[in-house]
C-alpha cells in the first residue's frame, strides 16, 4: 500500500470519454489499496479560450481577474472527474485551491505555492472516520493568495501543483500522466533510435526540462528535487504497471550512471552580439541590468577580449523577448557605449546532459569533435557541472542532435 | 446618489460584445455617482453545457460536484465583466459566493440563501480608504454551504442572488435587466395590445411569476417582498432611464390600483382525476401524502361529493411529474381504494391577478362570463385573495387570454 498523487494534463481529460478513462485508471490504484490524490488540468483547449476572452476584452487585463476566469477550467475538470469516479463506485471529492487551501504568494498569473494544508485530504484519503477511503480530486494550476483571491501558477503549473501536493501529504510517488510514455535520450521524432530512460536524476531532468525537453515543467522538477519527491512520467494513453514510464529520482538511486543521459535542444532562443564595448568594470552590469529591468531572461553569455581595449559581448534571450531586448539596448547605448548590435534569431541550442560528466573527462571534447566532423560551426559554448550547451545555426539542429546521440552511444541497440 | 444592484441574465452577457455593453451600462450608473453592485449569470448556453456534461457522466450525479462544475459559469462572467469595466476606466472587482461570503443551507443544487456578509462590499462600493469607488461584480446563482463547499440556488437563482444582495447591503433599488422591457398585462406574443405596467405589487408579481409569467423567479419576488426591496425589471437591449421598465414595489406605493393587473397562463401542468374515492376522513391526506413523499408539487385541488358515499378528487401536478404521480397513486391504490385514475396533460391554467380584487366583488364572475361567451369549458377553479385561476383545454389558451384581457379593460387604448 502506497500513497500516490496522480496528475493528468489537458489532453488526458480533453473530453468525457477521456475523463472516464482517467477514472478507470484511478480506480485501479484505489482497488490496489493505494491512497490516492488526483491533480487535474483544464480540458484541452478550455484554458486557451478563457485566456483569449480576457485578452480580447483588455490586452492589459488585471491579473487577479484573469486568474478568476482561467481557474474555472480546472474546477470543471475536478467536478466531472469526481462524478465519473463516483459513477464507477469510487468515493471521490473535488477540491479547489481555496478549499484545501493551497496558499500561494500574491503574484497573480505566475504565483508560487508557499504552503499546502494537506491534513484533511490525508484523513479522507485514508478513510478515517468514513465508510471508505475518498479520492481527493484537486484542481491543478491554482491556489489562493494572501488577500483571499484565486491565483494561478502560470502555464504548465499543474505539474508543480502535483509535486507540491505530493510533498505536502508525504506521498510515496507522484505519477505525471502525459502524452508521452517517459523521458527519452532525445526527441524520438528526430532520432528514431532514441531510448526511453527508466530512471533519471532530478539534476539531469532539470537540465533537460530547461533546455527544451517539454515533458515536465522546470519548477515542478526543482520542487521535486527540493522535497525529494519521486516523480514518474508515464503515458495516459497506454496501460501502465509499476515499471512503466521514467522515474525521476535522487542521483543516489541510480546505480548504473550513464556519462550522458540525453541530448536536448531548443529553437526558442535568439543571439545578441554587442560589438566593441569599452572593456571596463561595470559594463556587464550595465548590459544585463538593462535586460533585468525589462524582465528579460538571459541564458548563455560569452565575452571576448579584443586587442584594442574593447570587448564583444554575446548572449542569448528568448526569441519572443528579442524586440524588447533590442529596444532596451538601444536606449542604454549612451551608458554602455558600444559600436553596434547584431542579432540572430536563426539559432538553436543543443545540450548534452549527464551526471556522469562529474567523474568523466573528455565529455565536451567528444561533443566538439562530433560537430566538427559534420562541419557544424559552434557559435557559443556554455557549460555547467552536468551539461554542455552549444549554440549553432538552426538549420543544423537535427543533424547535430543525431550526431551527438550516436557519439555518446545512446542509440538503441 | 443611490445604492443600486444591477442584475444581468445569461442572454445579456452571452458574448464579449454584450459584456462590453453591460460594462457601458454599469459605467453610466457609476458616473451618476451611484454605488453599484452587479450580479451576473453565466454566458447563455454555458450552464446547459456544464449540466449536460454532469448528466452524461452520471444521471444520478452527486449534487455537490454538480454545483462545483456549474458554478464556474458565473465565475467566468464575473471576471470578464470586471476586466471589461476596468478597460473603460471603472474600478471593479469580482466576487464569488464563497468570497463574500453568501452563506446558504446545504441543499446542493437548490440551496437557499441564509445570510450575506455585505460590509466589505459596501466599503469598496463607497470607495472608503480607496482611490475610487469599486464596483462589486458578484456571481449570481451560487453561495457556500455550511461545509465550505460551493452551492447553487437552482435555475433562475441569479434573480434571487440579486435581491438577497440588495437586501443585505441596503440597496435603494435592484434593477433586473432581462430580455423583456418590463412586466406586461399579459404575454404580448398572444395579445399584441398588452400594456407594460409601470408598477406592480409584490403580491401580484408573485402570482404572475408562479403562474407562468417568466420574468422573475418566484423566490426572488418572495424575498423582495419579505425585505421590501424595490425591484425594477427592464430590458438590457434598450436604452434605459429612471422611468424605464416595471417597478415591483409594496402595494402602498401604488396609488391607482387596477382591479386586475394582468392575465397569466401556464401550459406546464397536467390534470389528475381520481374517481370514486371512499368519502371518509384522512383520504385527502393519503392521496397528497403519496404525492409529497415523491416530492411532487400539487397545485389546484378540487373535491366533488357524489351521492353514493364516494368522492371524485381532481388536482394538477407539473407535466414532467405526471408519470411519477401516476406511479405513486397506482402504488397507493390499496390504501386509498379508488375506482380509477384519469389524467390529462392537454390542459392550461389561465389566471386573473390583481390586488384590487380584495375590494371589488364580481371579478370572478366577469371571468366566467367571458369564457362562457366563447364556449370555453372550465374544468377546475381555484382562487386566492388576489387571483382567480381556471383550468381549461390547452387548445383554448390564446382565445381565453385574449377574451379576458379585453373583458378586464386591459387592452391598450
Tens of pLDDT along A344-360? 999 999 999 998 888 88
The C-alpha cell at A189 is: 521524432
A79·B66 Cβ contact <8 A: yes
Nearest by CB to B98, from A19, A57, A98: name it: A98
Whether B149 and chain A come into contact, CB under 8 Å, resolves to yes
Under 8 Å between Cβ of B207 and B248: no
The C-alpha cell at A226 is: 527540493
Mean pLDDT over residues A1-24, rounded? 96
CA A90/CA A68 separation, integer angstroms: 30
Chain A segment 93-112 residues within 8 A of B by beta carbon are: 93-94, 96, 98-99
A61·B86 Cβ contact <8 A: yes
Q: Where are the alpha helices (DSSP H) in A96-139?
A: 119-126
Whether B86 and chain A come into contact, CB under 8 Å, resolves to yes
Answer positive or negative: Cα dihedral of B229, B232, B236, B240. Answer: negative
Q: Who has greater pLDDT, A319 or A241?
A: A319
Q: What is the CA radius of gyration of chain B?
A: 23
Cβ neighbours for B304, distance < 8 A, ≥ 6 positions apart: B311, B312, B314
Predicted local distance difference test score (pLDDT) of residue A133? 96
Burial of B303 (0-12, 13-18, 19+ CB in 10 A): middle
Q: How far is B108 from chain A (nearest CA, A)?
A: 14
Angle of helix B16-31 versus helix B72-87 axis, rounded to 10: 60
- Mean residue pLDDT across chain B: 92
Q: Which residues in chain A are closer than 8 Å to B145, comparing Cβ atoms?
A: none
B65·A84 Cβ contact <8 A: no
The C-alpha cell at B105 is: 443551507
CA B260/CA B256 separation, integer angstroms: 12
pLDDT tens digits, A219-236: 899 999 999 999 999 998
CA A4/CA A163 separation, integer angstroms: 11
Q: How far is B32 from chain A (nearest CA, A)?
A: 24
Q: Which residues in chain B are closer than 8 Å to A69, comparing Cβ atoms?
A: 75-76, 79-80, 83
For cell 550522458, name the residue.
Answer: A260
Query: Best residue in A16, A51, A65, A139 to probe B by mutation, most B CBs within 10 Å?
Result: A65
Task: Report, at the CATH architecture level, how domain B3-179 is classified.
Answer: 3-Layer(aba) Sandwich (3.40)
B73 band by pLDDT with thresholds 50, 70 and 90: very high
Predicted local distance difference test score (pLDDT) of residue B362? 86
pLDDT tens digits, B301-340: 988 877 778 888 999 999 999 999 999 999 999 988 899 9
Bridge partners, B104 (sequence order): B113
* CA A116 to centroid of chain Cα atoms: 21
Whether B68 and chain A come into contact, CB under 8 Å, resolves to yes
The fraction of chain A above a pLDDT of 70, given in percent, is: 99
A68·B98 Cβ contact <8 A: no
CA A164/CA A295 separation, integer angstroms: 26
State if pTM tops 0.90. Answer: no
CA B411/CA B413 separation, integer angstroms: 6
Q: Who has greater pLDDT, B16 or B276?
A: B16
Predicted local distance difference test score (pLDDT) of residue A376? 95
Chain B segment 1-20 residues within 8 A of A by beta carbon are: 16, 19-20
pLDDT > 80? residue A205: yes
Which 3 state secondary structure label does DSSP give A339?
Answer: coil
Predicted local distance difference test score (pLDDT) of residue B212? 66
The C-alpha cell at B381 is: 377553479
A93·B53 Cβ contact <8 A: no
Mean pLDDT over residues B142-170, rounded? 94
A284 band by pLDDT with thresholds 50, 70 and 90: confident
Phi, psi (rounded to 5 degrees) for B96: -90, 165
For cell 462572467, name the residue.
Answer: B77
pLDDT tens digits, A79-104: 999 999 999 999 999 999 999 999 99
pLDDT tens digits, A136-187: 999 999 999 999 999 999 767 999 999 999 999 999 999 999 888 899 999 9
B99·A58 Cβ contact <8 A: no
CB pairs under 8 A between A and B: 107
CA B329/CA B315 separation, integer angstroms: 13
Mean pLDDT over residues A310-336, rounded? 92
CA A311/CA A306 separation, integer angstroms: 5
pLDDT > 90? residue A256: no
The C-alpha cell at B397 is: 389558451
Amino acid at each position: 500500500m502506497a500513497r500516490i498523487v496522480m496528475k493528468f494534463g489537458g489532453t488526458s481529460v480533453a473530453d468525457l470519454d477521456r475523463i472516464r478513462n482517467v477514472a478507470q485508471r484511478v480506480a485501479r490504484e484505489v482497488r490496489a489499496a493505494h491512497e490516492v490524490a488526483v491533480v487535474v488540468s483544464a480540458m484541452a483547449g478550455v484554458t486557451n479560450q478563457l485566456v483569449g476572452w480576457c485578452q480580447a476584452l483588455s490586452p492589459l487585463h488585471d491579473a487577479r481577474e484573469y486568474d478568476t476566469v482561467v481557474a474555472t477550467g480546472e474546477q470543471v475538470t475536478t467536478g466531472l472527474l469526481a462524478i465519473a469516479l463516483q459513477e464507477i463506485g469510487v468515493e471521490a471529492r473535488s477540491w479547489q485551491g481555496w478549499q484545501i487551501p493551497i496558499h500561494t504568494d500574491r503574484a497573480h498569473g505566475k504565483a508560487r505555492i508557499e504552503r499546502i494544508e494537506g491534513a484533511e485530504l490525508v484523513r479522507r484519503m485514508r478513510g478515517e472516520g468514513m465508510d471508505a477511503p475518498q479520492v481527493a480530486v484537486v484542481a491543478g494550476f491554482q491556489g489562493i493568495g494572501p488577500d483571499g483571491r484565486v491565483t494561478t501558477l502560470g502555464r504548465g503549473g499543474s505539474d508543480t501543483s502535483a509535486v507540491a501536493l505530493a510533498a505536502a501529504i508525504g506521498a510515496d510517488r507522484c505519477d505525471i500522466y502525459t502524452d508521452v510514455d517517459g523521458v527519452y535520450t532525445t526527441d524520438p521524432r528526430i532520432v528514431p533510435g532514441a531510448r526511453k530512460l527508466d530512471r533519471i536524476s532530478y539534476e539531469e531532468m532539470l537540465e533537460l526540462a530547461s533546455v527544451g525537453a517539454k515533458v515536465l515543467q522546470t519548477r515542478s522538477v526543482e520542487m521535486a528535487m527540493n522535497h525529494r519527491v519521486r516523480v514518474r512520467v508515464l503515458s495516459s494513453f497506454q496501460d501502465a504497471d509499476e515499471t512503466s514510464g521514467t522515474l525521476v529520482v535522487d542521483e543516489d538511486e541510480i546505480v548504473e550512471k550513464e556519462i550522458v543521459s540525453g541530448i536536448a535542444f531548443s529553437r526558442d532562443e535568439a543571439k545578441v552580439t554587442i560589438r566593441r564595448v569599452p572593456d571596463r568594470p561595470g559594463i556587464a552590469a550595465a548590459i544585463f541590468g538593462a535586460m533585468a529591468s525589462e524582465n528579460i531572461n538571459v541564458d548563455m553569455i560569452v565575452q571576448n577580449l579584443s586587442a584594442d581595449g574593447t570587448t564583444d559581448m554575446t548572449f542569448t534571450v528568448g526569441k519572443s523577448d528579442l524586440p524588447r531586448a533590442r529596444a532596451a539596448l538601444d536606449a542604454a547605448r549612451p551608458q554602455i557605449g558600444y559600436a553596434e548590435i547584431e542579432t540572430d534569431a536563426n539559432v538553436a541550442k543543443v545540450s548534452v546532459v549527464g551526471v556522469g560528466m562529474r567523474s568523466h573527462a573528455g565529455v565536451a571534447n567528444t561533443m566538439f569533435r562530433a560537430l566538427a566532423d559534420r562541419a557544424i560551426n559552434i557559435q557559443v559554448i556554455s557549460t555547467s557541472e552536468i551539461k554542455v550547451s552549444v549554440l549553432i545555426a538552426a538549420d543544423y539542429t537535427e543533424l547535430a542532435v543525431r550526431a551527438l546521440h550516436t557519439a555518446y552511444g545512446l542509440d538503441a541497440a
